[in-house]
Amino acid sequence: MESGRIMRPSQLKKSLVHYEHMSNESMKKSEKVKPTEQALKTTVVPKLKKNYGFKGRDKVNNNDRCQNNNQQWWDRNKGRGRDGRDQQRNWIQCYNCRKFGHIAKQCRIKQSSKSESESEEQTEQDEECHQTLMMVSSAQENAQSNMWYLDSACPNHMCGNKFFFDELDESMLTEVKFADDRKLPVKGKGRILIQLENGDHQYISDVLYVPTLTCNLLSLGQLLEKGYKVNFKDSHLTVFDSKGMIILKSPLKNRLFQIEIKTGSYPCFKSIVSDESWLWHLRYGHLNFKSLKLLTLKNLVKGLHVIQHPEQFCEGCISGEQHRRTFASNTPRRAKSLLQLVHSNVYGPMQTASLGGSKYFMTFIDDCSRMIWVYTLKNKSDAVSCFQKFKATVEKQSGRYIKTLRTDGGGEYTSSTFSKFCDRHGIKHEIMPPQTPQQNGVAKRKNKTIIDMAHSMLKAKGLPDSFWVKQLHVQFIY
């Protein structure tokens, strides 16, 4: 613009339009400045001189008119109209995307990312909710299934299905408290018989019966107290026994460790609650029901109820009482007097020694009365002293003498010490041929009966094998 010159209104208008055009061009060039140079930029506001040097009588009026026009131009560029707003925004830089023309509050990139994050968060919440619903549904379905959850925060094993229990003490009444302050009643405590992959059976002991529980829980703390070892590795939970053998292995699923346990039971154990015939069958060491019924009919046992032969088979009897076929009966009849013939046999060694260190037991059976005497031995070499003790006892009590002793060809019976003792007391010693247990069937069969009774009673009560001597005392003392 030119200064010091008197301009007419039309000339002033043209000059202002030209100046506005030049200002717009400079603004467009300034937009190409890099963001890093923004701090060095200053906002340029066009200024017009206050006095354009109008002369003449219209000096004041022209000056006022000029100032009014300048004010109108400034107001228009200050924000009145779309073009003015766009020019003002071109100088504003967004703190979010570092671009010009808008502020961070109006940034579209921020709103887009925010909506995406909200969408992702909502998706995660939906997934977690879906997983939770799946878990709840699964828990409700598994309440009556074989699925068990391994829980490190659970103090006891818990089960909500009464049918799983092989033995249940319903006199124990208490309650358990969960993390959400819920309290569920406990209606008993017992053990559950499970079937392993190799077909064997084991017990889960000290399991609480919680009828309202929606899923079965295995306490890791209780497993550790029993001597098991727990290992977490590669999203798997592995439980080892004291010998380092793997008991169970569970993968991580829905952030939980679960495993399917097959519950198994012997039919006679399941029938104890409803049928007392099975109970007496167990009490008498798995005695056959025909003999139990005979005891009832002849009133040989006081308090024994009427025995009914059940339709089920006892798996313990079938698997544990198989034996070889007997020889044809060409042997003479039974003895007619006491101690006329005595059968003897030594059984062992046991896989587990008794609490007193015994590994064998020795039996003596009178052929006439079928009376039996049982002695425990730590070593087979103790058989001679055991026979001497037996001979002194029975001959003193009966007033008779042992005439014949029938045994197998074991070293404990064929030693020189044993043979000399029999010769010195006039006892005839009959030794059966090897590999023919049928010829010494009375003693062999009695040993099998004793072992079957001991094995059945120990397993039924979950006692260790070291109690086998105590069980012998139960059979022949009580």
User: Could you give the residue numbers annotated as active site?
Assistant: 151
What pairs with residue 373 in β-bridges?
Answer: 364
| Cα distances (angstroms) measured from residue 49 to each of 12, 20, 84, 246, 357 | 13, 15, 22, 97, 122
Counting beta carbons within 10 angstroms of the beta carbon of residue 368, is it exposed (0 to 12), middle (13 to 18) or buried (19 or more)? middle
Q: How many whole angstroms separate alpha carbon 364 and alpha carbon 371? A: 8
**In this structure, what token pair is assigned to residue 396?**
């003193």
Q: How many whole angstroms separate alpha carbon 457 and alpha carbon 286? A: 9
Residue pair 196/246 in contact by the 8 Å Cβ criterion: no
Residue among 468, 473, 360 at smallest CA distance from 412 = 360
Residue type, 401: Y
| Cα distances (angstroms) measured from residue 242 to each of 204, 225, 227, 239 | 16, 11, 6, 10
Residue with tokens 């499970």: 194
